[in-house]
Amino acid sequence: MRKILIVVGIVMVLLLLVTGCTSQTESKPVSTPATTAPTATITPSQTEIVSAPVKAAASDSSLLGTWYLKLMSDQNGTALVQTINPETTVIFEDNVNLTGYSGCNNYMGSYTLTGKPDADGKGITIGPLASTKKYCQDGASTETTYLQILEGATSYLVNENKELSITDNAQNTLVYQRTPYSTTSVPMGS
């Protein structure tokens, strides 16, 4: 009789161990922050998709498309810089990505509309930017300044004349229009 009780006890312990091991293999739901994309939780007994809330990115359809640089102000907004190449562009492709031509090189990066209004328009952050590395003797410093202002952007505004202004935190500004322009139409600054 004692041997039967020992065997039954060993069987019970083994069943508890096996049951405990199999219950640990089931997927446990993972808690995700509110800004992540939908995640799936699949357990052996069921298949269902559980979506976490997704924070929608701010968007502005007036920003999308190709913009041609019209003028650039530097030195805290006090000096106008003649652009070397009238084909300098920024292209807002969607609500996240941008590309463009900076007068010598092509560049690409991302942007985020913060939705925060400020004195110069609506909030935006741009970058980091990546650029091709072609050397152009003429306009290299202008191109560098252009990319620095763009990557330091804090606000943008599309005005009633359908011009886009992008301003950085030092009040340096890039002004764009929807069509290419002649280099003779831009005023020279000091």
Same domain? 9 vs 80: no
pLDDT on residue 80:
67
Q: Is residue 56 part of a domain?
A: no
Structure tokens at 100: 């463009």
Write down the pLDDT at residue 118: 81
- Which tens digits make up the pLDDT trace of 13-53? 565 555 555 444 444 444 444 444 444 444 444 444 444 44
Domain residue limits at 33: 2-50
Nearest to 123 by CA among 137, 112, 110, 107: 112
Q: How high does pLDDT run on average in the chain?
A: 76
Statement to judge: residues 15 and 78 lie in one domain: no
Q: What is the CATH number of the domain that holds 163?
A: 2.40.128.270
**What are the tokens at 156?**
């943008």
Together in a domain, 83 and 6? no
Do residues 39 and 79 share a domain? no
Report residue 155's pLDDT band, with 50, 70 and 90 as the boundaries.
Answer: very high
**Rounded Cα distance, 29 and 54, in Å:** 17
Same domain, 45 and 69: no
Question: Residue 115 — very low, low, confident or very high, per pLDDT cuts 50/70/90?
Answer: confident
Q: Are residues 92 and 166 in the same domain?
A: yes
Range scoring the smallest mean pLDDT among 18-22, 156-160, 164-168: 18-22
Please report whether residue 190 resides in a domain: no
C-alpha distance from residue 118 to each of 5, 80, 168, 169 (Å):
80, 23, 12, 11
Q: Look at residue 79 and tell me whether its pLDDT is greater than 90.
A: no
Q: What is the pTM of this model?
A: 0.63
Q: How many domains does the chain have?
A: 2
Task: Assess whether 175 and 141 both reside in one domain.
Answer: yes
Query: Alpha-carbon distance 14 to 151, whole Å?
Result: 64
Q: What is the pLDDT of residue 59?
A: 82
38 and 70 co-located in one domain: no
Domain co-membership, 32 together with 71: no
CA dist 88 and 102 (Å) reads 5
For residue 10, report the phi and psi dihedrals to the nearest 5 degrees: -65, -40
CB atoms within 10 A of CB 172: 24
Q: How confident is the model at residue 105 (pLDDT cuts 50, 70, 90)?
A: very high
> Are 30 and 106 members of one domain?
no
143 by Cβ neighbours in 10 Å (0-12 / 13-18 / 19+) ranks as buried
Same-domain status, 99 and 124 = yes
Predicted local distance difference test score (pLDDT) of residue 120:
81
In this predicted structure, which of 9-13, 28-32, 58-62, 136-140 has the lowest mean pLDDT? 28-32
